[in-house]
Amino acid sequence: MKKVLVTGGAGFIGSALVKQLAADPTRQILVLDALTYAAQPASLAACLEQAAVELVVGDICDGPMLAQLFARFQPDTVFHLAAESHVDRSIAGPAAFIQTNIVGTFELLEAARLYWQQRPSNTDFCFFHVSTDEVYGDLAGSEHMATEQHGYAPSSPYSAAKASSDHLVHAWHRTYGLPVMMSHCSNNYGPWQYPEKLIPLLVTKALAGEPLPIYGDGLQQRDWLHVDDHVAALLWIRQHGQIGERYNIGADNPRTNLDLVTQICRYLDLQLAEKPSGIASFTTLITHVPDRLGHDRRYAIDSQKLRQLGWKPRIAWDDGIASTIEFYLQRQQREDNA
């Protein structure tokens, strides 16, 4: 990986990936991002000071622009992370998810295919598609974990659009021979996540003394994976995985939403002597709201295939969630003092 194109590289996971890629000073990195609402360009500030890291503002649905970028930059690896990813937004307005996640992936695959077919036959190339465990659907009612052979059963417009993009990637590999890899990750957490996602949303609302909304009974279960462990897995797969294969990336760290919000509240109770509105504990702010439409109860993925390649998560949950909460606390303090 000497010349790497990262789509969605100004987003939460994408920017964490760029940071790890940029640790190698001999590597050239082209970040392509439309800089929509969910982008966090500030997270890339230090990387963009390096001459080897370039940011291009553009839309993956723009085929001619993609063709020009491939011709100019000549990547040996594409990490495709550009996607609309918030389930609630997909329910309220699915059109953007169809456009970006399906049409955008098609345009990127075509640009990659045409570029790859013009490369010398002995040169390495990989189109790495980053997907989600949500394509496997709801695993409620059993202890079963989804392997890479598990059938697709997406529930939301978001997961259906991601599943569609997965099928396109597989088809371009099977039909055209495009060298691809694919990953499916569980719920990510860590610094720089967009504020409407669950953990930063809960911290921000708690600091404001606002109700902490939890869908339904709060017993929906997710496996929580630190973003730095996720991107380390992506690099490990690119180095040690096989073309044409898919790999689950999970932390084996299941938590219910209710357990999660309770742990965040208890951490804030210990760290903050002064609480908003004179509340005795942040747990009193937990508020159950009507459940999300089509809400999946349980996601669980089996990542043994990847672990057999030598990867394993490094960040323990208690350490990871504490450092993540501290990040949002410090950011809120900076905003309050600005």
User: What six digits make up the tokens of 15?
Assistant: 């920017």
Cβ contact 112:178 at 8 Å: yes
Q: How far is CA 122 from CA 115, 117, 119, 235, 258, in A?
A: 14, 12, 8, 22, 52
Give the residue from 102, 109, 165, 315 showing the smallest Cα distance to 225: 315
Instruction: Sort residue 50 into left (φ over 0), alpha (ψ -120 to 50) or beta.
Output: beta
Among the options 115, 136, 158, 328, which is catalytic? Answer: 158
DSSP state of 132: E
Residue given tokens 């010349």 in the structure block: 3
Q: How many helices (H) and strands (E) does the chain have?
A: 12, 12
Active site residue 134: yes
Residues 6 or more apart whose CB falls under 8 angstroms from that of 240 comprise 309, 310, 311
Among the options 33, 59, 84, 133, which is catalytic? Answer: 133
DSSP H/E element including 329: helix 317-337
> Distance between CA atoms of 322 and 329, rounded to whole angstroms?
10
Cβ contact 231:192 at 8 Å: no
User: What six digits make up the tokens of 220?
Assistant: 């929906």
Where do the DSSP E strands lie in the chain?
3-7, 28-33, 53-57, 77-80, 126-132, 180-185, 187-189, 212-215, 221-226, 246-249, 254-256, 286-289
Active site residue 133: yes
Q: Report strand pairing: 286-289 vs 212-215.
A: parallel
How far is C-alpha 242 from the geometric centre of its chain's CA atoms? 22
> Distance between CA atoms of 330 and 338, rounded to whole angstroms?
12
3-state helix, strand, coil in the chain (%, to 5): 45, 20, 35
Report residue 128: phi and psi, to 5°. Answer: -105, 115
Among the options 107, 134, 148, 296, which is catalytic? Answer: 134
Catalytic residues: 133-134, 158
